[in-house]
Amino acid sequence: MQGIEELAHAKVNLFLRVLRRHQDGFHEIETLMAPITLCDSLELESSNAFEFRCDEPGLAGDDNLVIRAARLFFSETNRAPKVRLTLRKEIPHGAGLGGGSSDAAAALRGLNRFFNAGLSSEKLRTLGAQLGSDVSFFVNETTATCSGRGEIVKPASLRLPLSLLLLKSEFGVLSSWAYSRWQATREAAGEIYQSQKFGDITFVNDLERPVFEKFVFLAEVKSWLLKQPEVGAALMSGSGSTIFAILRSNVDGDLVAKRAKSELDSELWSCVCDTL
């Protein structure tokens, strides 16, 4: 079979509620996630053996979720692992955008297609849940509410695509660290943490408080965005460190990004994109 390409789209959490912490250390959540046009790409080609390449050498180790997804796929299907996977990254690491989980889901989808294995979407989601809480969501890449640890996925819809501006500092935030600092007894005091209504969505993220208390600059980015006339709402995605803005109609997001870099940090990473 000739080579194929599978896109791995990033996501944003339009709301994220942390409900409780279980004894096993995992947290029960409820979240609305939407895939966005920002994406990595995974190329699959025939090979005499299994190969994995990544254009970010630091992500090419055996612990990469793409490799783990491939091992799981070959174990499930008993196919000979004769394929070369080449991952090209656009989604930043430690950003709360789900890049690693999306790459894993793209590997499952792509291998299923490449080898004509015939695994159903439901089966792929079950396999994905073994790799990480968000992987099941990324299998279908459609807006969904996710609950439990994130593996219970129910399709949802947005009335219209949302225009977004993503801003990320040079540092990342580990999801495990952010969740470990969450406490159900701590109320999210302060105006910056209050829910925001824009359109038919209420934007709120329960992980903002523990993250902002350590990474004060992220709170500054959100506060700055909320003051811009082009912005309808602003929120941290997942466990950070990306802060995204919902842009109003007919707004040039690149101009807002340029202003942010001028007034906040010239090294900010930015991306203007849309929900799918």
pLDDT digits (tens, 9 = 90+) for 99-138: 999 999 999 999 999 999 999 999 999 999 999 989 999 9
Active site residue 40: no
Mean pLDDT of 27-34: 91
The DSSP call for residue 275 is B
Question: What local confidence, expressed as pLDDT, does residue 184 receive?
Answer: 47
Which fold would CATH assign to domain 163-274?
Alpha-Beta Plaits (3.30.70)
Q: Tell me what the pLDDT averaged over the chain comes to.
A: 93
Residues of the chain with CATH 3.30.230.10: 4-155
Point out the catalytic residue in the list 11, 103, 206, 222: 11
Mean pLDDT of 218-234: 98
Lowest-confidence range among 154-163, 169-178, 206-215?
A: 169-178
- Of all residues in the chain, what percent carry a pLDDT higher than 90? 82
Question: What local confidence, expressed as pLDDT, does residue 176 receive?
Answer: 80
Point out the catalytic residue in the list 40, 134, 168, 222: 134
pLDDT in tens, 59-110: 888 889 999 999 999 999 999 999 999 999 999 999 999 999 999 999 999 9
Question: What local confidence, expressed as pLDDT, does residue 119 receive?
Answer: 98
Question: What local confidence, expressed as pLDDT, does residue 185 receive?
Answer: 41
Distances (CA, A) of 159 to 35, 98, 200, 233, 253: 14, 23, 8, 16, 21
Gap between the Cα atoms of 230 and 198, Å rounded: 13
Cβ neighbour number for residue 187 with a 10 Å cutoff: 9
Question: What local confidence, expressed as pLDDT, does residue 27 receive?
Answer: 72
* pLDDT surpasses 70 at 25: no
Residues of the chain with CATH 3.30.70.890: 163-274
Q: How confident is the model at residue 1 (pLDDT cuts 50, 70, 90)?
A: low
Active site residue 254: no
Question: What local confidence, expressed as pLDDT, does residue 24 receive?
Answer: 65
The reported pTM is: 0.94
CATH architecture for residues 4-155? 2-Layer Sandwich (3.30)
pLDDT in tens, 135-149: 999 999 999 999 998
CB distance 83 to 47 below 8 Å: yes
